[in-house]
Amino acid sequence: MGRSSLLLCVAIAGGVACQLLPGDSGGQAGPAPAGPVAEGRRLVEQGQLDAALQKLQEAPSDPESLYLQGVVWAKKAELAPPPEPAGEGSPTPEFKVEERNALAFFDTLIEAMPEHAAAHLAAAELLAPHTVAHAGSKKRETGVPGEPDFGPESVLARYRRAAELGDGPEAVERMIGFCKELKDVDCVGDGFLHLIERAPESADPRIRYGDYLMEREQVDEAARQYDIALVWAPEDEVTRGKLASIYIDRGSRHLRSREWSLAEEAFSQAADYVKDQRSEQARVLREKREELARSSGRR
């Protein structure tokens, strides 16, 4: 006995929209009508949003129709004015009607197809600006009764789910951007580690993670990431230069503290990364080593 078809109904402003996801009824089910979905997708790409909605509603058996209708409502939300109070003395809603409709379609699709990565990502992207706008506020932390949950943990969970399900790095990149806007250091680090896990033999995610760690003044861990990156890109002069600068700076601090052996060790490490002896970095390193020789009495 096969599966019966699943009727999905989405509660949107102004009524209920229903979509029929096909199942195996044991008979010879025909293919989902592709024409309206393809035409609806074309209309979305052309920015003809109302026509796209009308066309997509002609394809109730194709799950992509749910996703694309969510996309259309999200695009309409970008053009819609800010929400207004329902009446005098009423609070201003957090979400536009169009945003609520978009989220309803995405969440209905997720409920029916939990592994739909694009729907998880689209929902996260819809909610994220609200989370960022209320960063640090009670409204952000506790949510609003009757409103979609735009708390940071909820939105982050959506990004993470999209990253787990997606084939490419887009969801992880979006998650990293979201975490940076929230100034969530641990979350950003998790995002970069996820990129590294996806491409363990690639230098790029480690270099980017190293750059972020340098911004956070976590120099030792940044140097470690740069070093590993050079295993996969040994001729990357930019990354070699970053490591040389780290060790020149470290040696200079030891020099000022009269820690001669530690200074010499750091300058020696810097020299390992300076290939062009005519470069400005090579000149600075020579001057530092000469200063060390004079200061330590080794000359």
For helices 203-215 and 237-256, angle between their N-to-C axes, nearest 10 degrees = 30
pLDDT confidence of residue 13: 55
At residue 3 the predicted structure's pLDDT band, cuts being 50, 70 and 90, is very low
Q: Give long-range contacts, CB 8 A cutoff, 24+ apart: 32-39.
A: 32/59, 32/61, 32/62, 33/58, 33/59, 33/61, 33/62, 34/59, 34/62, 35/59, 36/62, 36/65, 37/62, 37/64, 37/65, 37/68
Count of all residues that appear for the chain in the document:
299
Angle at 293 between CA 289 and CA 294, to 5 degrees: 120
pLDDT confidence of residue 144: 58
Q: Which of 6-15, 85-94, 128-137, 235-244 has the highest mean pLDDT?
A: 235-244
Q: What is the pTM of this model?
A: 0.76
pLDDT tops 50 at residue 296 = yes
Q: What mean pLDDT comes out for the span 104-127?
A: 95
Percent of the chain's residues with pLDDT above 70: 84
Chain-wide mean pLDDT for the chain? 86
pLDDT tops 60 at residue 200 = yes
Cβ 135 vs Cβ 37: under 8 Å = no
Find residue 219's DSSP bridge partners.
none
